[in-house]
Chains A and B, each alone.
Chain A
């Protein structure tokens, strides 16, 4: 469903991603693990078109997308949830959802505000609240809900567990599993191995812009050495 082949990305003169290849399938949760600055966020930004790759191929649902603008990629059904949440603080919860709204597409679950409030009950009580007046956890819920309003068939989550209270992290994990149940392809970046274990089927480990390891979560759990080399602090 989602595939990168030999992708190189850079910010100005700083080369960040080197010949990166990875893939994720429908109904699968794939985690991109790595330390700060390893290139996780850049990978996701390259996928959604916020960073234009220098070279390499990116395909989504069988279509090449590396030359498209972010809005075109989003309209193909690829959802993106940024690390810093970036909700529109001037807009109410309902208005934030409205910005993300796209027409329904075949082959992807269809979302309405009401259905999303079922997934995120906290949000239901604050429909008219402005984004600026929400807690971090509520903002994180809203940013995912907003992206789902585009009825994506695949979703990119940049460190969804970061900075959240433990009880919310658990809720987040359940949400991701529900999205998987709906048949979405989920690619998330994480530093938190514990969280990754809760949700992911497969993992890639990225370091200094290179993929160093790939395997199922069970294989990773068995490989003490890889975890010590690339993930422990």
Chain B
């Protein structure tokens, strides 16, 4: 590649870095002050793009029309963000942090369907920017003027934000609240107002970041999640809460991605290597490397433990009554095929699979306190291992038996890195690894079937009927759940909880917390892999969706819907979620919005999760009858 080509790619990278920075700065600000990981941030970006597209069309093409349309889109999205904060998130500040995350994910679903409803499924490309529609010649190549404008916009916004944060009272209060919001409150700072304004500013930046994209990239319905993972990476690499960090990280990642596209295929040492295929993973590789070397990102600082020591409630053994209930449920599940049709059996098999998946996620999230945003990686690894082993070498039974261990090995490898971090950083790294696994599977056409996945992954003859397979799933998934639950009440399980509540004290009494967490992570991965393997054979095919981000989020939703600090919550959450998804996706085209609405409702009404809610009722009732 010639020097001038490299140079132009460098400029390209810088231009895309600007939009990335705007969105990331918004996310970082919001996280810093409210401690909310705003999953809906990518959706705000998407809204910005679509709104700008419409406004610019409506205002007409001239210079004032275009630029006021772009700016106004940012303002509209900012107001929308403020509204979301006031009407929704404000009710959840006293709820567990993860629940706020669930609420923002529900918003993702709703906004996604709203966009589909309002703008339709076609990609929409905006007009060129009037006044900057031309191109200039750089090193003998033509380079769009608009991209030069974007290159300048990034540092400009960085400078303005810096002034805002260091030279105004508002900025001082924001920085104070980022560090210790309770103390700021005790000094008379109204957090509610501060949170709303930060949310508005963050959303404005996201909307503006989306709006400035219209001359460069078409508005598409998938842009919410694709920018979200980019932005997570930028914020984590830069350091959560650091605006200059976000800028540096956006530049690094924007440039590296552009370079990978620019370099393309390279033939060296007799090997063909495609750099453009690396584009999807390069940012996650950067993130993994940075987090291992600097666990809090380039400019981030160690987050102190939360001020109010939040000890989790104990994980009680199921009461005798509940144990009887579980046993009765199991018997009913065993008798189910006698009284149900084929469709119900398939749905029930799905529910069993996802129950085990959710229980394995709960295993590391609840008792071990490691919040994984990428648990689908192990589900998918298990599914793909089963399919590949079956296709290439082994009979189905052996493939099914070995696949979980492949997932376990993957979890052992990824987990080694993950347990070195904690909190949001750990969550982001798990997400990064899942995305790497997804990219590999998605792009390795010759081995994994690429985006088409693999078909013909059918169970052995004797397991082929839906009923027999249902029993197989019941034995494996219920069995796996029992094993995981049993482990939680073994010394190993107690050690995990000790490590979660006080790593320092656990260390001091001789528990190797990190090793314990590592093994717990691998164990959870193994069982997720088992669920994945059963899933592959139940469907007869497998696609990269099995380890995509939405699948990971499904797992999170199940666990949180059920109630994270209950034992049986994950099962309840998986059952309700899978059933809901199945039944409403058959009702309406806009099932995502409906599902999002239901999640929001559940979050607002049962902040302690379904199982947690039932338990509280139960305790309140038995408490009263005792008294």
Contacts and interface: CB of A to CB of B under 8 A. Distances in A.
Q: Do A and B interact? A: yes
A69 B190 CA distance: 9
A102 interface: yes
A95 interface: yes
Contacts of B183: 82, 86, 88
Interface string B179-198: 11011111111110000000
A5 interface: no
A160 to B, nearest CB: 16
B173 A99 contact: yes
Interface in A72-117: 74-75, 80, 82, 86, 88-91, 95-96, 98-100, 102
Contacts of A80: 186-187
Contacts of B189: 71, 99
Contacts of A86: 180, 183
Nearest to B182: A50
B186 A48 contact: yes
A39 interface: no
B172 A91 contact: yes
A91 B185 contact: no
B277 interface: no
Contacts of B191: 71
Interface residues on B, range: 10 to 19
B172 A74 contact: no
B392 interface: no
B511 interface: no
In the complex, which of the residues A96, A98, A100 has the most CB atoms of chain B within 10 Å of its own CB atom?
A100
Contacts of A100: 187-188
B267 interface: no
A150 B188 CA distance: 8
A140 interface: no
Contact of A89 (B179, B182, B184, B190): B179
B614 to A, nearest CB: 20
A74 B189 CA distance: 8
B586 interface: no
B187 A150 contact: yes
A146 interface: yes
Nearest to A156: B186
A70 interface: yes
Contacts of A96: 176
Nearest to A152: B188
Interface in A137-178: 146-147, 150
A98 B182 CA distance: 16
Nearest to B171: A95
Nearest to B178: A90
A12 B179 CA distance: 24
A95 B182 CA distance: 17
A88 B190 contact: no
A70 B186 contact: yes
A88 B186 contact: no
B64 to A, nearest CB: 39
> What are the 9 tightest A-B residue pairs by CB atom distance, in nearest-first order?
A74-B188, A70-B185, A99-B176, A86-B183, A88-B176, A75-B188, A71-B185, A100-B187, A80-B186
Given A86-B183, A150-B188, 4 more contacts: A91-B176, A91-B179, A99-B173, A99-B184
23 contacts: A48-B186, A50-B186, A69-B185, A70-B182, A71-B188, A71-B189, A71-B190, A71-B191, A74-B185, A74-B186, A74-B187, A74-B188, A80-B187, A86-B180, A88-B179, A89-B179, A90-B175, A95-B172, A95-B175, A98-B172, A102-B188, A147-B187, A150-B188
